[in-house]
């Protein structure tokens, strides 16, 4: 039985953006039936992010990171994928065809970070009003110092 | 749909956002949506190919159906959930949940609160089971700090006690609202009456009925008050008779069964594909409970059964929750027997403020106390994901830390947010009245959906 309570037990893999769907397919065939979580991190002000030196040689760190947590119900295992997304090209393939449950999660990441998911059936804002400008969880989006944007309100 | 088309699509959404793209979030007319979106909306991802759905999409002419709004202000949507339903008469053809009405940017707020203050933020997400939210946040922080194995036994067992009592109170709230949604209005009073007794115990322990901020990184905020054991025992003695009443009032009643059995059916494969967890996943017959399958706290030391259903319908989800109350009571009894003596929080000076008595006599203790509550404590760089079983399914916290006293990114995997994705599938082909039963059986907490 895999204990999740200790830090070393986390199985983290860095995946290149081009191999993202291929890796997901392989992992799904290996028995990771469920994509429990998909989120993103904006490393604008913390580009170093404490990565093991042996990994650092193989990947190029970018501003955004899409973090995908997969769960294998049959093997009681988890795996976490970290995909680097460049600021200049914030598009990644959608995992929707493999894991339909990522639908809302990808919409949330699009809404909050502006990362677009290629192949998503309905990529619209999910939490913010649909005419909102900007992506709130980006680090350069100031909290509390912007005029309130609402439909019909003078700003 | 080709790749380039799709990018153009999504960029379109961004460009129009500068002006307005009103209506894009909402349920679109059939003629305006792609076959793939209809496929998603009808939840048929697993059963039909895109071409089959495209053919199906054409069969329903627009002038025979209508799109109506249910919510956001509607008593049976459990808050501000808005469902757009496409109806043909009384039959639901498509459904799209529109959420975000309660969005207050709690994940963004979490980035400016220290790890000490973070509990006050996460506890307000799933307000029906706040202690589970605090627990997952505290445990993830401890994992990053590397002190997750050093939490005192008593603190761990107190956490288990509160977590299970919270499961009971949350499921009792479900009993109340589910009863009212289906038409057993008196159930509303009974469910809230019993829940109130659990909340009274929480008030005695934490000082508050909800939003406790009691489980904190390093342990819990205070020791259990004198007489807590009797309070819990009174609760445990009173509940079985009340649950038996529920059985008489609901479980065996033909009307109750008619309203729930065969309504909102989901299969095991669909639940897994849609990332549904908790009672929804268990109702399909899959035995999956993080307390047993990936034990945290001391759940490997207590005995309990994982309740599963067999049909994946609303009735199964009702009975699973009812019986989970009984299992939680079983766990609580074992916790009462096993509760060890000792510290209720870790004696690591880094995360634990000095006791009140020391502050009066020592300047250093006063400074330390002040600093820990104003500046907080620093958490090493790194990222961690940790999941526990909340009453609604897998609740998880993902924290990326940059070595400062506030999380660099704090994400909560909210089970309700993911679980409402199953609604369009469960409602398809059912009646509007069944839609109410489906919403109720998913048991979403909108504070957690919108965060």
pLDDT for the residue A56:
76
Averaged over B66-83, what is the pLDDT? 79
pLDDT for the residue A153:
58
Contact A10 B385 (CB under 8 A): yes
Q: How many CB atoms lie within 10 A of CB B31?
A: 9
Higher pLDDT, B348 or B125: B125
Strand partners, B72: none
pLDDT for the residue B18:
36
How many angstroms separate the CA of residue A55 from the nearest CA in chain B? 14
For chain A, say whether B287 makes contact (Cβ under 8 Å).
no
What does the longest C-alpha to C-alpha distance in chain B come to? 81
Q: What are phi and psi of B411, to 5 degrees?
A: -120, 135
pLDDT for the residue A7:
44
Rounded-to-integer distance, Cα B146 and Cα B140, Å: 10
pLDDT for the residue A4:
37
Smallest Cβ–Cβ distance between A130 and the set B21, B384, B408 belongs to B21
User: Considering chain B, what percentage of its residues have pLDDT values greater than 70?
Assistant: 86
Contact A130 B17 (CB under 8 A): yes
Averaged over B185-194, what is the pLDDT? 90
Q: What are phi and psi of A64, to 5 degrees?
A: -100, 155
For residue B95, which of B73, B75, B71 has the smallest C-alpha distance?
A: B71
Position B129 pLDDT exceeds 50: yes
Contact B394 A67 (CB under 8 A): no
pLDDT for the residue A154:
57
ipTM: 0.86
For chain A, say whether B226 makes contact (Cβ under 8 Å).
no
pLDDT tier, A147 (very low <50, low <70, confident <90, very high otherwise): low
Contacts of range B328-333, beta carbons closer than 8 Å, 24 or more positions apart? B328/B164, B328/B165, B328/B167, B328/B168, B328/B171, B328/B304, B329/B168, B329/B236, B329/B239, B329/B240, B330/B303, B330/B304, B331/B160, B331/B164, B331/B299, B331/B302, B331/B304, B332/B161, B332/B164, B332/B165, B332/B168, B332/B232, B332/B236, B333/B236
pLDDT tier, B36 (very low <50, low <70, confident <90, very high otherwise): low
The tens digit of pLDDT for each residue in A52-91 reads: 777 777 788 888 999 999 999 988 889 999 999 998 888 9
Position B375 pLDDT exceeds 90: no
pLDDT for the residue A54:
73
For residue B155, which of B389, B355, B346, B349 has the smallest C-alpha distance?
A: B346
Look up residue B316 and give its DSSP letter: H
pLDDT for the residue B62:
63
Helix, strand, coil content of chain A in percent (nearest 5)? 20, 25, 55
Cis peptide before B72 (omega within 30 of 0): yes
The tens digit of pLDDT for each residue in B192-211 reads: 999 999 999 999 999 998 88
Chain B residue closest in CA terms to A36: B275
Strand partners, A118: A93
Q: What are phi and psi of A124, to 5 degrees?
A: -125, 170
How many residues are there in chain B? 451
pLDDT for the residue B165:
93
Contact B10 A123 (CB under 8 A): yes
Please report the DSSP string for B192-234 in residue order.
Answer: HHHHHHHHHHHHHHHS-SS----EETTEESSPPPTTHHHHHHH
CB B291 within 8 A of CB B278: no
pLDDT tier, B130 (very low <50, low <70, confident <90, very high otherwise): very high
pLDDT for the residue A101:
87
For chain A, say whether B29 makes contact (Cβ under 8 Å).
no
Contact B293 A103 (CB under 8 A): no
Smallest Cβ–Cβ distance between A130 and the set B25, B273, B296 belongs to B25
The tens digit of pLDDT for each residue in A10-24 reads: 788 888 888 899 999
Position B31 pLDDT exceeds 70: no
Contact A127 B450 (CB under 8 A): yes
User: H or E stretch including B400?
Assistant: strand B393-401
pLDDT for the residue B9:
46
Smallest Cβ–Cβ distance between A100 and the set B45, B288, B451 belongs to B45
Contact A34 B11 (CB under 8 A): no
The tens digit of pLDDT for each residue in A91-126 reads: 999 888 888 889 899 999 998 998 988 888 888 888
The tens digit of pLDDT for each residue in B106-122 reads: 998 888 899 988 889 99
Contact B3 A2 (CB under 8 A): no
The tens digit of pLDDT for each residue in A123-137 reads: 888 888 877 888 888
The tens digit of pLDDT for each residue in B385-410 reads: 999 999 999 999 999 998 889 999 99
Contact A7 B103 (CB under 8 A): no
CB < 8 Å to B7, chain A: 91, 116, 118
pLDDT for the residue B325:
93
Smallest Cβ–Cβ distance between A4 and the set B36, B296, B398 belongs to B296
Smallest Cβ–Cβ distance between A124 and the set B25, B34, B294 belongs to B25
CB < 8 Å to A39, chain B: 398, 411, 413
pLDDT tier, B104 (very low <50, low <70, confident <90, very high otherwise): confident
Contact A119 B45 (CB under 8 A): no
Position B46 pLDDT exceeds 80: no
Look up residue B396 and give its DSSP letter: E
Residue B427 half-sphere exposure, CB side, CA atoms within 13 Å? 31
pTM over 0.90: no
Higher pLDDT, B350 or A90: A90
pLDDT for the residue A140:
85
CB < 8 Å to B148, chain A: 5-7
CB A37 within 8 A of CB B385: yes
Please report the DSSP string for B61-91 in residue order.
Answer: -GGG-EEEEE-SS-GGGTTT-EEEEEEETTE
Rounded-to-integer distance, Cα B299 and Cα B276, Å: 22
Token pair in block for residue B252: 């065996």
Mean confidence (pLDDT) of chain A: 82
Token pair in block for residue B48: 């039909």
Position B3 pLDDT exceeds 70: no
pLDDT for the residue A96:
87
For chain A, say whether B105 makes contact (Cβ under 8 Å).
yes
Rounded-to-integer distance, Cα B432 and Cα B424, Å: 12
Portion 291-320 of B in contact with A at CB < 8 A: 293-296
* Inter-chain Cβ pairs, chain A and chain B, closer than 8 A: 178
Smallest Cβ–Cβ distance between B40 and the set A99, A121, A137 belongs to A121
């Amino acid at each position: 039985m895999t204990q999740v309570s200790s830090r070393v037990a986390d199985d983290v893999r860095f995946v290149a953006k081009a191999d993202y769907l291929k890796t997901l397919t392989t992992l799904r065939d290996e028995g990771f039936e469920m994509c429990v979580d998909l989120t993103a991190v904006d490393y604008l002000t913390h580009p170093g992010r404490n990565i093991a030196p042996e990994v650092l040689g193989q990947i190029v760190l970018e501003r955004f990171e899409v973090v995908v947590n997969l769960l294998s119900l049959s093997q009681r295992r988890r795996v976490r994928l970290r995909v680097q997304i460049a600021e200049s090209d914030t598009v990644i393939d959608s995992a929707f065809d493999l894991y339909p449950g990522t639908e809302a999660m990808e919409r949330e990441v699009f809404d909050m970070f502006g990362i677009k998911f290629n192949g998503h059936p309905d990529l619209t804002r999910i939490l913010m009003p649909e005419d909102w400008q900007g992506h709130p969880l980006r680090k350069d989006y100031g909290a509390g110092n912007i005029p309130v944007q609402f439909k019909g309100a003078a700003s | 749909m080709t790749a380039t088309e799709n990018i153009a699509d999504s960029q379109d959404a961004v460009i129009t956002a500068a002006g307005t793209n009103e209506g894009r979030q909402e349920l679109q007319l059939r003629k305006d949506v792609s076959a793939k979106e209809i496929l998603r909306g009808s939840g048929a991802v697993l059963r039909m190919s895109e071409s089959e759905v495209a053919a199906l999409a054409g069969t329903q002419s627009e002038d025979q159906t209508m799109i109506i709004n249910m919510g956001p202000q509607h008593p049976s949507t459990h808050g501000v959930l808005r469902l757009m339903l496409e109806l043909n008469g009384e039959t639901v053809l498509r459904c799209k949940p529109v959420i975000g009405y309660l969005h207050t940017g709690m994940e963004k707020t979490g980035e400016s609160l220290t790890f000490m203050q973070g509990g006050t933020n996460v506890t307000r997400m799933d307000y029906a089971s706040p202690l589970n939210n605090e627990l997952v946040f505290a445990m993830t922080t401890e994992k990053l700090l590397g002190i997750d194995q050093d939490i005192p036994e008593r603190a761990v067992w107190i956490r288990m006690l509160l977590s299970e009592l919270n499961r009971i109170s949350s499921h009792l709230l479900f009993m109340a609202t589910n009863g009212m949604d289906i038409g057993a209005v008196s159930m509303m009073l009974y469910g809230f009456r019993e829940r109130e007794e659990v909340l009274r115990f929480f008030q005695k322990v934490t000082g508050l009925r909800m939003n406790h901020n009691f489980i904190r990184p390093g342990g819990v905020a205070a020791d259990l008050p004198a007489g807590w054991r009797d309070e819990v025992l009174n609760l445990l003695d009173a509940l079985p008779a009340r649950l038996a009443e529920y059985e008489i009032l609901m479980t065996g009643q033909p009307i109750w069964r008619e309203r729930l059995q065969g309504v909102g059916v989901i299969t095991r494969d669909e639940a897994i594909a849609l990332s549904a967890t908790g009672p929804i996943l268990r109702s399909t017959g899959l035995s999956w409970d993080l307390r047993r399958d990936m034990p945290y706290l001391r759940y490997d030391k207590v005995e309990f059964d994982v309740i599963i259903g067999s049909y994946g319908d609303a009735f199964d989800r009702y009975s699973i929750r009812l019986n989970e109350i009984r299992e939680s009571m079983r766990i609580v009894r074992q916790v009462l027997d096993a509760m060890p003596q000792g510290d209720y929080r870790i004696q690591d000076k880094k995360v634990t403020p000095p006791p009140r008595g020391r502050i009066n006599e020592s300047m250093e203790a006063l400074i330390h106390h002040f600093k820990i509550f104003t500046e907080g404590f620093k958490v090493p760089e790194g990222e961690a994901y940790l999941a526990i079983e909340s009453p609604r399914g897998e609740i998880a916290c993902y924290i990326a830390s940059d070595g400062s006293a506030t999380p660099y990114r704090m994400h909560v995997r909210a089970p309700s947010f993911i679980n409402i994705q199953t609604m369009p599938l469960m409602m398809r082909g059912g009646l509007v009245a069944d839609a109410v039963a489906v919403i109720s059986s998913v048991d979403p907490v909108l504070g957690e959906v919108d965060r």
